[in-house]
């Protein structure tokens, strides 16, 4: 494996990485170090607030389930029918059916909640309960209790009480108070057919809730007048100061730090019950937690930074050294050495793929350069061949003989016209640097050629043009029509017959189409007659089209006994007239 020496590129990359990534990261963590205690304190405060709010929400959910159980009791047709018509059932059936409803509701809403107790009284002095009573369960005793009279006297059909005395047998519950919902049960005509008493063992709920909270915090619930309902600890000296402070504050949900004792207090208000849920956390516990988190944070952070910087330097060395070597090879390529190649076995992973692509690029570049050189040589050769095909020695010799005999025979202006036509063809033939000319110029050259041929063959061939007006300034390959027409004259028509040549030029789908057709004998018959010509003109034309237009040009020949049609298709390249009306 080649040993690479770290160079300037690697050093620049390392410095850039440290400046733009690691340095801000380190500065940010230094800043966080000085603000960490504040951030952690805010997190602890927020966590304590969330705990108190969650306790309040749990209580509201419990009360909501209690009210939904009341709704089920009110809407149950079996219960309402028993309360209205108890004489239709036996005592055992009535109690069994209602107890079944109690159990069904409890299993639906309060399976994982504290104990719930139901008491129903109808208007016919019947009592139905889901528990064993502590003292009495007689109708006459129950209707004398304060809760019954209060429910009957108020306009609302229900009310809540947090101080409902425990009426359940001591073997079942030892709590002092219940959270109870008292409500009326109405019939179809909105008449009162009974009352219901639904009680929740509030102390059991509170103790269950505390079991899932931190043990180093104290919690208590108080009413809006400051009376303590429940508390997690009895020996809290700051309790009364906390009650007075919470009641004196304008915000119903807030937190503060005590003045006389090291506590953090968070409280939340339950509006529909006029309660406060309060938590007290000793400050020394809070700060111990903060310092513990700091220790748990900065030691791993320091280790992480050391490992991170080490890995960064290792990766930088691994990648920048091969890249520096690749850079030097690219510099060699810019100096003209296209044979440069890297050893792929010395690299791995993404760098190996990069080297493979580099080597392929160099091979493709070298191949393209060779192909370009060959193509340029072919173009030069084709220019020479084009001159040979354009200025056919046989054609020039016949033309010159024609001019000589005309000159000897008679004094005619036709000689002047033939010379002019021949001059145009020779002038364009000598302009080797021009590959494309305008269509009307190519037509003018073709007319000069046809004029000479018609004079030679005494007007034997008729040429008909069908050209779209908008394509006069389209660019075509120089001397692209003459070889086709020349091929037609030499092969399509026997010398004893006359012939017609049609030239149709039009555009379609961004291409220029040139169709040259005749009514001659066709290729097969011409071969039998051993017609003159070698076909060099058409072959040269096809090669010139390939070199200039690649795959975008096409030359097709369709021949039959009724004639031949040659179709030339090239890309449509339009130019603007330099002087409209004077280009011709």
Rounded CA separation 377/355 (Å): 33
Q: What is the pTM of this model?
A: 0.44
Q: How high is the pLDDT of residue 581?
A: 45
Q: How high is the pLDDT of residue 373?
A: 78
Q: How high is the pLDDT of residue 583?
A: 45
Q: What is the DSSP letter of 121?
A: E
Q: What is the DSSP letter of 168?
A: B
Q: How high is the pLDDT of residue 572?
A: 92
Q: Residues 10, 324: contact at Cβ < 8 Å?
A: yes
Q: How high is the pLDDT of residue 7?
A: 41
Kindly give the parts of the chain with pLDDT less than 50: 1-9, 387, 390-391, 393, 579-584
Cα–Cα distances (Å) from 380 to 25, 238, 366, 369, in that order, read: 65, 107, 22, 17
Q: How high is the pLDDT of residue 523?
A: 79
Which two three-digit tokens encode residue 175?
């709590």
Q: Residues 324, 4: contact at Cβ < 8 Å?
A: yes
In 76-186, where does DSSP find H-type helix?
77-84, 91-109, 139-142, 146-153
Cα–Cα distances (Å) from 331 to 38, 337, 342, in that order, read: 56, 9, 13
384: region left, alpha or beta (phi > 0 left; psi from -120 to 50 alpha): alpha
Give 13's Cβ-side CA count (13 Å radius). Answer: 17
Q: Residues 535, 584: contact at Cβ < 8 Å?
A: no
Which two three-digit tokens encode residue 547?
């070199």
Element (H, E) at 529: none
Rounded CA separation 152/157 (Å): 9
Rounded CA separation 505/514 (Å): 5
> 460 φ, ψ to 5°?
-70, -30
CA end-to-end span of the chain: 73
Q: How high is the pLDDT of residue 559?
A: 86
């Amino acid at each position: 494996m080649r040993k690479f020496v770290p160079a300037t590129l690697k050093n620049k990359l390392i410095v850039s990485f440290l400046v733009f990534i690691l340095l801000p990261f380190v500065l940010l963590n230094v800043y966080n170090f000085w603000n960490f205690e504040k951030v952690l304190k805010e997190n602890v405060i927020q966590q304590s607030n969330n705990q108190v709010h969650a306790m309040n929400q749990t209580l509201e959910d419990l009360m909501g389930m209690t009210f939904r159980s009341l709704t089920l009791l009110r809407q149950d047709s079996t219960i309402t029918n028993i309360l209205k018509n108890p004489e239709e059932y036996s005592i055992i059936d009535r109690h069994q059916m209602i107890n079944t409803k109690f159990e069904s509701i409890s299993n639906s809403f309060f399976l994982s909640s504290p104990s719930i107790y139901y008491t129903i009284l109808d208007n016919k002095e019947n009592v139905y309960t889901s528990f064993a009573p502590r003292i009495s369960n007689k109708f006459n005793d129950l209707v004398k209790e304060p809760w019954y009279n209060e429910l009957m006297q108020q306009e609302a059909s229900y009310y809540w009480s947090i101080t409902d005395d425990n009426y359940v047998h001591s073997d079942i519950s030892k709590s002092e108070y219940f959270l109870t919902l008292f409500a009326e049960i109405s019939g179809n005509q909105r008449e009162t057919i009974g009352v219901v008493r639904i009680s929740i063992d509030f102390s059991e709920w509170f103790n269950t809730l505390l079991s899932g909270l931190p043990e180093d915090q104290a919690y208590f619930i108080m009413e809006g007048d400051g009376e303590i309902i429940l508390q997690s600890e009895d020996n809290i000296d700051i309790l009364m100061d906390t009650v007075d402070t919470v009641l004196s504050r304008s915000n119903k949900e807030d937190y503060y730090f005590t003045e006389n004792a090291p506590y953090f207090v968070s409280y939340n208000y339950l509006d529909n019950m006029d309660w406060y849920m309060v938590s007290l956390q000793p400050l020394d516990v809070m700060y111990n937690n903060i310092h513990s988190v700091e220790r748990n944070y900065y030691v791993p952070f320091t280790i992480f930074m050391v490992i991170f910087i080490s890995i960064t330097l290792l990766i930088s060395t691994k990648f920048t050294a091969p890249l520096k070597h690749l850079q030097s090879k690219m510099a060699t390529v810019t100096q003209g050495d296209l044979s440069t190649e890297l050893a792929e076995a010395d690299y791995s992973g993404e760098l190996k793929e990069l080297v493979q692509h580099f080597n392929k690029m160099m091979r493709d570049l070298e191949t393209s350069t060779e192909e370009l050189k060959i193509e340029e040589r072919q173009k030069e050769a084709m220019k020479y061949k084009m001159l040979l095909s354009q200025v056919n020695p046989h054609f020039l010799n016949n033309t010159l003989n024609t001019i000589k005999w005309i000159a000897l025979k008679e004094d005619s202006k036709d000689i002047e016209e033939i010379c002019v036509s021949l001059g145009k063809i020779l002038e364009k033939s000598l302009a080797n640097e021009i590959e494309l000319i305008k269509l009307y110029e190519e037509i003018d050259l073709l007319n000069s050629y046809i004029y000479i041929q018609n004079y030679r063959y005494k007007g034997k061939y008729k040429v008909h043009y069908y050209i779209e007006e908008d394509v006069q300034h389209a660019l075509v390959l120089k001397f692209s029509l003459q070889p086709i027409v020349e091929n037609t004259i030499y092969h399509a028509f026997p010398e004893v017959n006359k012939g017609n040549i049609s030239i149709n030029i039009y555009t379609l789908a961004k291409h220029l189409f040139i169709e040259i057709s005749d009514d001659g004998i066709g290729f097969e018959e011409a071969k039998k007659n051993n017609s003159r010509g070698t076909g060099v003109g058409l072959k040269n034309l096809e090669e010139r089209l390939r070199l200039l237009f690649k795959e975008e040009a096409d030359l097709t020949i369709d021949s039959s006994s009724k004639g031949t049609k040659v179709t030339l298709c090239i890309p449509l390249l339009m130019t603007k007239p330099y002087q409209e009306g004077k280009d011709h």
